[in-house]
């Protein structure tokens, strides 16, 4: 539930309500909007039985929240969350593009890609060093060696870097190198991993699970937020349907639905959604038109030789062309591009 305060409520009212909630073993989450301040109540609501919070000074009304996720809920946090990574802001005025190879394969491959995506206008470099592959015999990633190349690429280009983490050990190691930790679709409901990622304090890019509902996805975000980490970026990457012409089905409706239900930024990954390079530009444009806060795109200097996901990777020329095409669209949507 949330406690909506009167317009003229004072700081001492907020303090008194917070103290009362804490004395009952509940947590208070204060969100100050431009006109209204609200206090979100987290914990076992039965503890409030017989307590007339609505009669406390400064209280306008009490509103019940039916969704199980609270901190991720727009009703709890009325202004949009902007995740700041140095000078890059996700969820702000700019459309943020993350791009890079599916997997870091070698130093040269990564540095070449980093230069290319930087030239094309990306502000964040992606590259997996722990690859959750369907087959255990497929390339599994370079682990720490790959992280060193990511760091070198960051130093060379100024791009921020994002890597997927698949275990607590990977979080500990990646936290020493990267700007954003990515939780992949296959781990969206790995709750221990989510808690650990939350505790890392780093921004988390949380991909939607292969067959997860939006409600389940927002509850996964809640696991991270409830560890005191407010920096969660959601990523729609396609869901399993009966359609086989594409790798997954891009659920673009997730973008406006997330915007209606949550304050968290949401980006779209058209590469994993469709699995086919030729479809990536159209889906990228559609995602921008739906109001996403950014895109994550797979780019490889030689897609035909890629160790993973070559079929869906753009080459640098196609990436640059797409970035040029996205600019006017982003502008219509009220977004600038780097």
Q: Return residues touching Mn ion (CB under 5 A).
A: 102, 309
205/228 Cα distance (integer angstroms): 16
Q: Angle 79-291-311 (CA atoms, 0-180°, nearest 5)? A: 130
Among candidates 285, 274, 290, which has minimal Cα distance to 322? Answer: 285
Query: Scanning residues 281 to 320, which ones bind ligand PEP (CB under 6 A)?
Result: none
Could you tell me the maximum CA-CA distance found in the chain, to the nearest angstrom? 68
Least Cβ distance, residue 207 to Mn ion (angstroms): 11
Asked whether position 102 contacts ligand PEP by CB under 6 A, the answer is: yes
Return the one option of Mn ion, ligand PEP, none that residue 165 interacts with (CB less than 5 to 8 A, by type). Answer: none
* Phi and psi torsions of 297, nearest 5°: -125, 140
DSSP state of 80: P
Tokens representing 4 are: 């909506």
Q: Which whole-number Å values give the CA distances from 197 to 85, 120, 206, 209, in the listed order?
A: 16, 31, 10, 16
Identified binder of ligand PEP from the candidate list 185, 220, 295, 330, rule CB under 6 A = 185
Query: Scanning residues 210 to 269, which ones bind ligand PEP (CB under 6 A)?
Result: 237, 269
Residue closer to ligand PEP by CB (options 179, 269) is 269
Asked whether position 99 contacts ligand PEP by CB under 6 A, the answer is: no
Residue closer to Mn ion by CB (options 70, 126) is 126
89/142 Cα distance (integer angstroms): 29
Q: Which residue is nearest to ligand PEP (CB)?
A: 184
Choose the stretch contacting ligand PEP; rule: CB under 6 A; options: 51-59, 71-79, 180-188, 319-327.
Answer: 180-188
Choose the stretch contacting ligand PEP; rule: CB under 6 A; options: 77-85, 92-100, 153-161, 179-187.
Answer: 179-187
Q: At which residue do the structure tokens 């190349």 appear?
A: 149
Least Cβ distance, residue 256 to ligand PEP (angstroms): 20
Least Cβ distance, residue 285 to ligand PEP (angstroms): 20
238/269 Cα distance (integer angstroms): 8
Binding site for ligand PEP (CB under 6 A): 102, 128, 132, 164, 184-186, 207, 237, 269, 272
């Amino acid at each position: 539930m949330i406690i909506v305060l009167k317009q003229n409520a004072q700081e001492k009212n907020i303090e008194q309500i917070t103290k009362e909630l804490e004395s009952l073993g509940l947590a208070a989450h204060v969100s100050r909007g431009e006109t209204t301040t609200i206090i979100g109540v987290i914990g076992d609501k039965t503890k409030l039985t017989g307590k007339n919070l609505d009669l406390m000074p400064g209280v306008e009304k009490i509103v019940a929240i039916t969704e199980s996720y609270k901190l991720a809920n727009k009703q709890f946090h009325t202004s949009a969350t902007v995740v700041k990574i140095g000078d890059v802001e996700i969820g702000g005025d700019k459309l943020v593009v993350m791009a890079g190879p599916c997997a870091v394969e070698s130093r040269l491959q990564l540095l070449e890609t980093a230069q290319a995506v930087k030239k094309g206008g990306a502000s964040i470099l992606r590259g997996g060093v722990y690859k959750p592959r369907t087959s255990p015999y497929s390339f599994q990633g370079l682990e720490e060696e790959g992280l060193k190349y990511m760091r070198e690429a960051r130093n060379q280009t100024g791009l921020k870097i994002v890597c997927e983490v698949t275990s607590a050990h990977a979080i500990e190691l990646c936290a020493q190198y990267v700007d954003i930790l990515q939780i992949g679709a296959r781990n969206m409901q790995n709750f221990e991993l989510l808690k650990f990622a939350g505790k890392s304090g780093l921004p988390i890019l949380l991909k939607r699970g292969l067959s997860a509902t939006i409600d389940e996805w927002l509850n996964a975000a809640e696991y991270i937020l409830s560890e005191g980490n407010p920096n969660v970026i959601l990523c729609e990457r396609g869901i399993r349907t009966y359609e086989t012409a594409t790798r997954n089905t891009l659920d673009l409706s997730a973008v406006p639905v997330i915007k209606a239900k949550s304050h968290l930024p949401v980006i779209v990954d058209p590469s994993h959604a469709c699995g086919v390079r030729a479809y990536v530009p159209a889906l990228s444009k559609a995602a921008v038109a739906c109001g996403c806060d950014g895109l994550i795109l797979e780019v490889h200097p030689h897609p035909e030789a890629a160790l993973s996901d070559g079929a869906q990777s753009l080459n640098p020329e196609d990436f640059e062309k797409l970035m040029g095409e996205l600019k006017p669209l982003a502008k219509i949507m009220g977004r600038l591009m780097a």
